[in-house]
A and B are shown apart, each in its own frame.
Chain A
Amino acid sequence: MIQAIVEITNNEGLHARPASDFSKTSMKYKSEIKVYKNNEEKAYNPKSILSVMSMGAVKGDVLRIEASGEDEAAAIEGLKTILENCNK
């Protein structure tokens, strides 16, 4: 299992296109992926757009992405990039 931590810094938070990009990209990987917000216990499923939206991540929230499976490294890299791009 590997993980990455990304802070949401853009004013819009994680919504609209970034949310659906995040979700669509997650679906490309075979690994099991979970997202946690601000050290909360609840795990969100990034492969579900409804789960991503219900997370309601806004500016200042810190997300921890965990992936385990054959393509875990690629998954973490891919999802980190999406989040970082939406922060730009």
Chain B
Amino acid sequence: MESLLGTGVSKGIAIGSVLVKKESSSDFQKKSITDVEHEWDRFQKAIEAGKKQLEVLVQQSRETIGEDEAQIFEAHILILEDEELANLVKTQIDNQKKNTEWAVHEAAEHFAVILEGLEDEYLKERAHDIRDVSARLIRILSGTDKHEIPIMDKPCIIVARDLLPGEMVHIDKAVVMGIITEAGAKTSHTAILAKAMGIPAIVGAEGILEKVKDHDTIVFDGELGNLFINPDSDILEQYNQKLELLKIQKKELESFRDRASITKDGADVELFGNMASVAELPGLVENGAQGIGLFRTEFLYTTQASAPSEEEQFEIYKLTAEKMQGKTVIIRTLDIGGDKEIPYLGLDKEENPFLGCRGIRLCFDKVDIWKVQLRALLRASIFGDIKIMLPMISVIEEVRKAKEIINEVKEELESSGIPFNENLEIGIMIETPAAAMIADSMASEVDFFSIGTNDLIQYTLACDRMNPKISYLYSQFNPSVLRLIKHIIDTGHEYGIKVGMCGEAAGDIRLIPLFVGMGLDEFSMNASGLLEAKKVVTQISRLEMSKVVPEVLKLKTAQEVETYLAGFSAI
């Protein structure tokens, strides 16, 4: 038995038989040729074929994995059609009189080596993409492009030096128990794709290829990153038990996927998902999300070097609405502040960024950028049930001003004859005590509330949640916060609007029964919490819980609340 430690990048336990993936780009022969025209013709045909393959991959990954992954392949198309790459291939064929496979390999290596020599980490990584494209061309040229990875007909753990994105999408989730690569880091394509596909994975397992061969047994923990090759019976037993336990828990929870989220006494409770990228959509749908309660759009802004264009955003919002098939999709407009470094926004450094120009305040300050987002949102609104949510509202004037700007954008669209949903609902985040206190005024101006508990706790207790010295203050069981939440729900209902909640408390199974008792209409959480939340909901009664609410609100400390609630979700 041997053990190794790599970087765990996709959690889960994997036990299985090793399938070593061999390097696929090196299997071609260098040959001398005489007919240079013929070789050049082969190159151009290979480009055409490669482009077709990549277009399929763009489409497939957009549908099954996510937009970010689709963009990897779009970049590959750009490399494939690169004119300098073609020039170099032509020069190699003409001058060296060698076959196209060799010429492509040489030309790609020329650029890959230059990029690897640069300081910039991002550009260094791109060498990988060039080699992926080159490998694809060579496979096409030599007719070995049928199987990009070995045939996987029985459960296996794939071990490779590295996996290219083009190879990752061909992995069959049904038989691949896990993935281990020698190269790669937390941010590598392999890591991101494995996580999105839900396959346990370890990257950066140095020396693994020297230590294993096909049919060896490996067990590993994709969270901790430790792995055992041909484990002894104790280890195997231990991991089998872990795996069984996870399977049982998963199966039990999965039985809730298609069940309605209705309490024992018949009250409907909506369980929605939070998302930041379309890559999370398949996971949300798989876990039975009945809608999207919070689409955090700021990641579209923080992950790239310039503001996302209207078209780019439109495509993403449209795709989300379509994937949710008419179910509610609440999209929160840009919610960032001076604590984030976004070069193109030129945000001022502030003394107190959490009390500064953030959320809706920043949207007003950068109104041109905000309008681009609103246009994209409105245009996408005809493809499903999209709703707009405004972040960080504290006074009524902000709601009115935001609505005015939205109306301006609507008029612009109307005059250009661009369709949008005229009855698009507009709601607000309630995450400042100020907004909570005047919930009545707010409710008469908007279509729905969503309680953002993370900020509401932070602002109510005047406590930075990241500061360990004052961590005793930050608690979702805090009585002041719970009383505010009760007030927000009651007031919203008094004015006939729906009240939802996003933020961590919404997915906390210890608190769900209490909020159900308070009458909260919608809970929005990460995909991983949905099934457990549904289990809790189906096991409680709203009427019974509503009787518990006044008892809880009488309690004096967060600790007392936590202790009191401990029994309700464990029924």
- The interface of chain A, by Cβ under 8 A from chain B, is 10-13, 15-18, 20-21, 23-24, 45, 47-51, 53-54, 56, 58, 85-86, 88
Among A13, A45, A47, A54: residue with most chain B CB under 10 A: A54
Known A56-B119, A88-B346; judge A50-B306 contact (CB<8 A). no
Are the C-beta atoms of B115 and A48 separated by less than 8 Å?
no
Give the residues in chain A near B122, CB-CB below 8 Å: 15-16
CB-based contact A51/B305 at 8 Å: no
* A17 in complex: contacting residue of B118, B305, B343, CB < 8 Å: B305
How many inter-chain residue pairs (CB < 8 Å) link A and B? 66
Check if B305 sits within 8 Å of A49, measured CB to CB.
no
Please, how many residues of chain B have a CB less than 8 angstroms from a CB on the other chain?
23
Residues A51 and B343 in contact, CB atoms below 8 Å apart: no
Known A-B contacts A56-B118, A88-B346; A15 and B78 likewise in contact (beta carbons under 8 Å): no
Q: Is B473 an interface residue (CB 8 A)?
A: no
> Would you list 5 pairs from A and B whose C-beta atoms are within 8 A, ordered by A residue?
A16-B305, A21-B306, A49-B78, A50-B82, A53-B111
> In the bound complex, how far is the Cα of B309 from the Cα of A18, in angstroms?
13
Compute how far the CA of A51 lies from the CA of B107 in the bound complex, rounded to whole angstroms: 12
Q: Which residues of A contact B120 (CB under 8 A)?
A: 13, 15, 56, 58
In the complex, A23→B126 CA distance in Å?
16
* Across-interface contacts of A11 in B (CB, < 8 A): 343
In contact, B114 and A86 (Cβ under 8 angstroms)? no
A23 to B124, CA, bound (A): 18
Min distance, Cβ B27 to any Cβ of chain A, angstroms: 24
Interface assignment of B564: CB less than 8 Å from any CB of chain A: no
Closest-CB distance, A17 to chain B (whole angstroms): 5
**For chain B residues 35-85, which have a beta carbon within 8 Å of chain A?**
75, 78-79, 82-85
Interface membership of B271, Cβ < 8 A: no
Measured CB to CB, the closest approach of chain A to B367, in angstroms, equals: 16
On whether the beta carbons of A53 and B305 are closer than 8 Å, the reply is no
- State whether B305 touches A15 (Cβ < 8 A): yes
Q: Whole-angstrom distance between the alpha carbons of A85 and B306 in the complex? A: 8
Q: Are B126 and A53 in touch, CB under 8 angstroms?
A: yes
B118 near A47 with CB under 8 A, answer no
Instruction: Take A10-B305, A23-B78, A88-B346 as given contacts and tell me if A15 and B123 are in contact as well, using a CB distance cutoff of 8 Å.
Output: yes
**B104, chain A: closest CB distance, angstroms:** 13
Question: Quick check: is B156 within 8 A (CB to CB) of the other chain?
Answer: no
Judge whether B91 is part of the interface by a CB distance below 8 angstroms: no
CB distance from B256 to the nearest CB of A (A): 41
Q: B130, A50: Cβ atoms under 8 Å?
A: yes
Pairwise interchain contact A16-B304, C-beta atoms closer than 8 A? yes
Q: Hey, which chain A residues are within 8 Å of B305, CB to CB? A: 10, 12, 15-18, 86
A10 to B119, CA, bound (A): 16
A54 touches B114 (CB 8 A): yes
**Which partner residue on chain A sits nearest B343 by CB separation?**
A10
| B344 at the A interface (CB under 8 A) | yes
| Contact between chains at A17 and B304 (CB < 8 Å) | yes
The answer to whether A86 touches B306, judged by C-beta atoms less than 8 angstroms apart, is yes
For the complex formed, measure the closest distance between the CB of A32 and the CB atoms of chain B, giving whole angstroms.
Answer: 12
Kindly state the separation between the CA atoms of A59 and B79 in the bound complex, as whole angstroms. Answer: 24
Q: By the criterion CB–CB under 8 Å, are A56 and B344 in contact? A: no
State in angstroms the CA–CA spacing of A12 and B123 once bound together: 11
- Bound: A50/B112 CA distance, A: 9
